[in-house]
Amino acid sequence: MQSVAEALARLGELAASPTVSKLAAAFERAGFELALVGGPVRDAFLGRAVNDLDFTTDATPDEILTVVKPISEAHWDIGRAFGTIGAKVAGETVEITTYRADAYDGDSRKPDVVFGSSLDDDLGRRDFTVNALALRLPKLELVDPSGGVEDLLAKTLRTPSAPEISFGDDPLRMLRAARFSAQLGFEVEDGTRAAMTELADQIDRISAERVRDELSKLLLTAAPTGGIRLLVESGLAERVIPEIPALRLEVDEHHHHKDVYEHSLTVLEQAIDYEVARGNLDSPDLVVRLAALMHDIGKPATRRLEKGGVVSFHHHDVVGAKLARKRLRALRFDNDTIAAVTRLIELHLRFFGYADAAWTDSAVRRYVRDAGDQLERLHILTRADVTTRNRRKADRLGFAYDDLEERIAVLAEEEELAAVRPELDGADIMRLLDLKPGPIVGEAYRYLLEVRLDEGPIGPDAAEQRLRAWWDARDADA
């Protein structure tokens, strides 16, 4: 955390940059107000890098365009209906928004866009006091009508107006509270937290797409579990992703199992650590984090109390994948993300059989084949799923997975494992068996693929012999 003097010095340097100074001068010449607002001002106090330049003004969208066109390399008005104009000025991308006074009408799932008339009113309608800070340009006057600097120093999240009013204006702010709490490491003020619980059902007014985007931003923070806990404790998770609070299974005095909810949060934390440490994926990786959080959501539906105090969750991987697919579709995630997450959940238990008895080369090939392009993510999820406090067991599982990865690497080098396919393709099969395109060709291809997985490379001649033998046996059985 920077001191006020240090933060103002940083903001002064930012205001002197070519992009900001050029914009400030242009708006002043045109007779309009302009202020740097929100995240850039907040981050100057936090000592964080400023990545996005957001401005607010009393100019209308049409007037903003008139000002920025002569000084920008490019401009776009995709957000014009919401008062936002984008531009590239002196090589940097900026967004400039007309003062806003949005509110929900109580029924609509999108806010009514209403333009405001003053900077103070605009700041008063923002989500949290720490984001309701502005720097007037070009005079470099800090504007803080709701005590945002004090809340930054106290590491507190609080709404500028009464939380009931703020969350009523935009219920999505309740999800943002969880995200900013995780992102900034701040505590949500008691009254704000209480309002989140009281108004949790209002999140139903928000479109699935906006909820999805906010959940994704939360998961992509460096340490999202605190935010997830807040969603669960406030009752918001019950409205937007109920499979997570459902993980808090009751444990009776006769049957014992690990706390599935706490286990899932630990898996998420460990998956993030592995994701960063391994460095084989773009980080942060939303697919890994969704899969880690949701990998055990099939357990509540499959929980069975067995004799001897044992609790079983048979087929929770399959059930969990189906539940995840349904939830992610409801949240309007894209098909590629849904397919990747559900595939990882389906496969997350596969390795544990390897730890009990080393697999054949055939089993290793099938593991790679089934994981496909999700193999690296599966490595991360499987390793993260080991949360036992028994050091000997954890070491045994870790060493076993080390061994599996080494075997995959060796087979990959020897056999081009990532592209496992039969030595004969569909055209070869049709030529050798005098077939036309159809289901039988696919049946023959799948047979040859099984041979390849079981035995490794056998060469085109041997593959042809096996294909003809299979065809003869098939004719004999017909």
What burial class does residue 28 get, using C-beta atoms within 10 Å of its C-beta: 0-12 exposed, 13-18 middle, 19+ buried? middle
Sequence spans of domains, the chain: 1-154, 155-240, 250-419, 426-477
> Do the Cβ atoms of 130 and 17 come closer than 8 Å?
no
Task: Tally Cβ neighbours within 10 Å of residue 441.
Answer: 17
pLDDT at 397: 86
> Strand 141-143 vs strand 34-37: parallel, antiparallel, or unpaired?
unpaired
321 contacts 298 by C-beta, under 8 angstroms: yes
Phi, psi of 430 (to 5 degrees): -65, -40
In words, the CATH class of domain 250-419 is: mainly alpha
Taking the C-alpha atoms of residue 325 and residue 294, their distance in angstroms, rounded to an integer, is 10
Tell whether omega for the bond before 284 is within 30 degrees of 0, i.e. cis: yes
| Third-level CATH fold of 1-154 | Beta Polymerase; domain 2 (3.30.460)
Cα distance between residue 186 and residue 232, in whole Å: 17
For the chain, the distance separating the N- and C-terminal CA atoms, rounded to the nearest angstrom, is 78
Residue 124 tokens, joined: 């008063």
CA 223 to CA 228: how far, in whole Å?
10
CA atoms of 439 and 443, how far apart (whole Å): 6
Q: 155-240 architecture in CATH?
A: Orthogonal Bundle (1.10)
pLDDT for residue 415 = 60
Strand partners, 143: 134
Residue type for position 30: A
Supply the pLDDT for residue 343. 97
Digits of tens for pLDDT over the chain (478 positions)?
777 788 888 999 999 999 999 999 999 999 999 999 999 999 999 988 887 899 999 999 999 999 999 999 999 988 888 889 999 999 999 999 999 875 555 555 555 667 878 999 999 989 999 999 999 999 999 999 999 999 999 999 999 999 999 999 899 999 999 999 999 999 999 999 999 999 999 999 999 999 999 999 999 999 999 999 999 999 999 999 999 999 997 554 444 556 899 999 999 999 999 999 888 788 899 999 999 999 999 999 998 887 767 778 889 999 999 999 999 999 999 999 999 999 999 999 988 877 666 788 888 888 888 998 999 999 999 999 999 888 888 888 888 889 888 888 888 776 655 556 788 888 888 898 888 887 888 888 888 888 888 888 888 888 899 888 888 888 776 5
Looking from the CA of 381 toward its CB, the CA atoms found within 13 Å total 31
- Residue 280 CA to chain centroid, in angstroms? 17
Phi, psi of 36 (to 5 degrees): -75, 135
Residue 188 carries which side chain, given as an amino acid letter?
Answer: V
Query: What pTM did the predictor assign?
Result: 0.82
| Residue 252: predicted pLDDT | 47
Q: Name residue 304's beta-bridge partners.
A: 312
CA max distance for the chain: 91
pLDDT at 447: 87
Q: Which of 269, 316, 272 is nearest to 295 (CA)?
A: 316
